[in-house]
Structure 1
Amino acid sequence: MNAAATIPGKKKRPAIAIAVPYWVREFALIRWGVAALAGGVAVGVAAVLYSNAQLRDASATRAHVQQVRDAAYARYAYADNEKREIRAFQPPFLAMRERGLVGEENRLAWLDAIRRIQEDRRLLPISYEVTPQQTVAPDPRVATGDYQLHASRMTLHMDMLDELELFNFLEDLRARGYFAVQDCAIKRLGAGGPPDAPALSADCTLNWITLTAATTTAAPAPARGKP
């Protein structure tokens, strides 16, 4: 019996033809072009991503270099400003140090100045007493930098022939140091003495001023005497 025989009473179905789009049928012709295009796109995307990364790195480097440059310029400007300030303030600073305002307190120089003025002016004997040095709080608007303001109080007594002797004495003393006159009391002595006897006496309180480094704390002992 033939296996391929047709079963009686059953009709054979016709084959169904499926229509394939032309671009699918012809894809084989362009598949290498598509592959090349995909590769080019991938390379382009990678190049864009790499370029963006490089741009970010370059921006970060540029910002860092800008910060370094700004810091260097700020240091240069600060140093240049310091040099200008030194040139401007060095002469008066040296002058103040020469006169004893800046540095350690030099009481011997004060006492020597009193003695010399008394001898040059031919004044009557002068007596004095200096109390221990004290720290002074300056006005907040006064900038003293790394220096601390100190003052030593001197009580001074002198007999005079006239008031001009006191004024000349203080003027000469001011040329040799920095001090502030706190008060001065002049008293007239009794008349009837010899011609060269003192007619007046003065009791003054002076505050000798010095600027010393803020770490300096030592204070000289009290001094009294008569040149």
Structure 2
Amino acid sequence: MNAAATLPGKKKKPAVTIAVPYWVREFALIRWGVVSLAASVAVGVAAVVVSNAQLRDASATRTHVQQVRDAAYARYADADNEKREIRTFQPQFLVMRERGLVGEENRLSWLDAIRRIQEERRLQPISYEIAPQQPVALEPGIASGDYQLHASRMRLHMDLLHELDLFNFLEDLRARGYFAVQDCAIKRLGANLNQADAPTLAADCTLNWLTLTPGAPAVGVPFSSRSKP
């Protein structure tokens, strides 16, 4: 007996038909186009990401190059300024070094200058004593570069025929070295009428001989440069 046979008295139900959208039925025609589009979009997105990364790297590189260029230009400008300063101040520097301000302390030169001035001016005997050299602290805002200012204090006594002997002596001494007069006091002596060249005055002065020596600035006590002739 055939299983597919229809039982008597029953009718066969018609098959259910489902309507499929046309774009589904025809997707097979465009599937390769869709795949190509998706691949193109993926490649485009990747290209944008890579381009942005390269742009950031290029911007960072440009910033670094500009910083290096600016630093090089600043060094060049500093070197050019130093050259101009050397040309401007070198003659003065050589004069200061020749007169003993720049370099190591030369006390023999100071004493020789005092002796020569005394002989040339025919002054009364001069006595002096020099204290140990000390660093000098400069006032804020005064730049000494790579040099440290030092001072050696000299206490000087001289007899005078008149006040001009002291002024002439200090003027001649200043032309042969660098010093600052800290204080200077003059007192009158009892005149000896029997001697024409007898001293009538006596001067006691404190001088600070100055030298600039290479080295970092040190902490010191500023000295006073008051003058009381």
* TM-score, scaled to structure 1: 0.86
Question: d(CA) in 2 for partners of 1:102 and 1:124?
Answer: 31
SS of residue in 2 equivalent to 1:138: coil
1:225 corresponds to which residue? none
SS of residue in 2 equivalent to 1:208: strand
For residue 178 of structure 1, report the CA deviation from its aligned partner.
1.1
The one-letter amino acid of 2:197's match is: D
For residue 169 of structure 1, report the CA deviation from its aligned partner.
0.7
Q: Identify the range of structure 1 (187-196 vs 111-120) with the bigger mean alpha-carbon deviation.
A: 187-196
Question: d(CA) in 2 for partners of 1:168 and 1:186?
Answer: 15
Question: d(CA) in 1 for partners of 2:32 and 2:217?
Answer: 90
The one-letter amino acid of 1:155's match is: R
SS of residue in 2 equivalent to 1:29: helix
1:68 corresponds to which residue? 68
Report how many aligned residue pairs link the two structures.
Answer: 217
Question: d(CA) in 1 for partners of 2:68 and 2:30?
Answer: 56
The one-letter amino acid of 2:213's match is: T
Map 1:141-160 to 2 at 5 A. 141-160=141-160
SS of residue in 2 equivalent to 1:204: strand
For residue 48 of structure 1, report the CA deviation from its aligned partner.
1.5
Q: Deviations over 1:162-209 (max 9, x none)?
A: 221111111000011111122222233323232122232222221112
Q: Deviations over 1:102-125 (max 9, x none)?
A: 221110000010111112112222
The CA RMSD measured in Å over matched residues stands at 2.1
Question: d(CA) in 1 for partners of 2:139 and 2:99?
Answer: 23
Give structure 2 stretches of 5+ with no counterpart: 219-229
2:176 corresponds to which residue? 176
SS of residue in 1 equivalent to 2:62: helix
SS of residue in 2 equivalent to 1:205: strand
Q: Deviations over 1:53-97 (max 9, x none)?
A: 221221121122112112212222222222222223322222222
Whether the 8 Å contact between 2:147 and 2:217 is mirrored in structure 1 is no
Q: Deviations over 1:121-153 (max 9, x none)?
A: 122222211111122222223222332222111
Whether the 8 Å contact between 2:184 and 2:206 is mirrored in structure 1 is yes
* TM-score, scaled to structure 2: 0.85
Question: d(CA) in 2 for partners of 1:180 and 1:3?
Answer: 138
Q: Identify the range of structure 1 (155-164 vs 104-113) with the bigger mean alpha-carbon deviation.
A: 155-164
1:203 corresponds to which residue? 204
Question: d(CA) in 1 for partners of 2:50 and 2:138?
Answer: 64
Are 1:137 and 2:137 an aligned pair?
Answer: yes
Question: d(CA) in 2 for partners of 1:35 and 1:201?
Answer: 115
Map 1:64-143 to 2 at 5 A. 64-143=64-143
Question: d(CA) in 1 for partners of 2:37 and 2:183?
Answer: 102
Task: Percent identity, please.
Answer: 81
Map 1:2-81 to 2 at 5 A. 2-81=2-81
